[in-house]
């Protein structure tokens, strides 16, 4: 049985401006957490103590939305855009699912449940740092830049 509700959600083209803007938002979010997590661990205080709740709600919302957004984004393979939902899902499961899930899930769970004594587990978020390299690769593919030109 096919899930009909998935047909309502469009597949986002890798050429899309929405995808480009989302990648920039995700890069900013990851960099923000690269500062937030060491502060939280160093002072052994929950992140709520250091940052306004509106800011934290926004970046936690970005992490949650990104997890679902990634299942609906086309990608490039050998220079060609792939827009087939099944191929997108298989590619995501093989490439980024595990790091996205582990890196984001623990922070989201901590934020929702307020587990103050598990701050060291937030270091697993640094697995997502490799995504910044992938964002730059997607930007390169989007504009068909040759690395030798740069």
Q: How many structural domains compose the chain?
A: 1
7 occurs within a structural domain: no
In this prediction the pTM is: 0.75
132 occurs within a structural domain: yes
11 occurs within a structural domain: no
Mean pLDDT check: name the lowest of 18-32, 54-68, 73-87, 123-137: 123-137
75 occurs within a structural domain: yes
Residue showing tokens 């792939």: 82
CA angle 74/65/29 to nearest 5° reads 95
3 occurs within a structural domain: no
33 occurs within a structural domain: yes
pLDDT tens-place string over residues 78-124? 878 899 999 999 999 998 888 888 888 877 777 777 655 556 677 77
41 occurs within a structural domain: yes
pLDDT at 149: 46
Mean pLDDT check: name the lowest of 6-20, 53-67, 87-101: 6-20
What share of the chain has pLDDT > 90, as a percent?
14
What is the span of the domain harbouring residue 91? 16-45+53-141
pLDDT level of residue 150 (50, 70, 90 thresholds): very low
Q: Could you tell me the CA-to-CA distances from 108 to 32, 64, 112, 149 in Å, in that order? A: 15, 8, 6, 40
94 occurs within a structural domain: yes
In contact, 76 and 82? CB cutoff 8 Å: yes
pLDDT higher than threshold 70 for residue 75 = yes
pLDDT higher than threshold 60 for residue 146 = no
């Amino acid at each position: 049985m096919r899930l009909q509700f998935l047909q309502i959600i469009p597949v986002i083209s890798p050429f899309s401006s929405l995808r480009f803007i989302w990648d920039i938002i995700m890069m900013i979010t990851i960099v923000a957490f690269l500062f937030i997590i060491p502060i939280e661990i160093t002072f052994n205080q929950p992140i709520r103590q250091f940052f306004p709740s509106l800011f934290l709600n926004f970046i936690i919302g970005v992490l949650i939305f990104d997890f679902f957004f990634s299942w609906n984004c086309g990608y490039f393979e050998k220079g060609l855009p792939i827009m087939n939902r099944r191929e997108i899902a298989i590619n995501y499961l093989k490439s980024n699912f595990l790091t996205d899930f582990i890196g984001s899930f623990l922070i989201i769970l901590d934020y929702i449940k307020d587990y103050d004594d598990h701050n060291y587990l937030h270091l697993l978020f640094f697995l997502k740092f490799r995504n910044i390299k992938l964002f730059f690769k997607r930007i390169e593919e989007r504009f068909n830049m040759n690395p030798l030109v740069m």
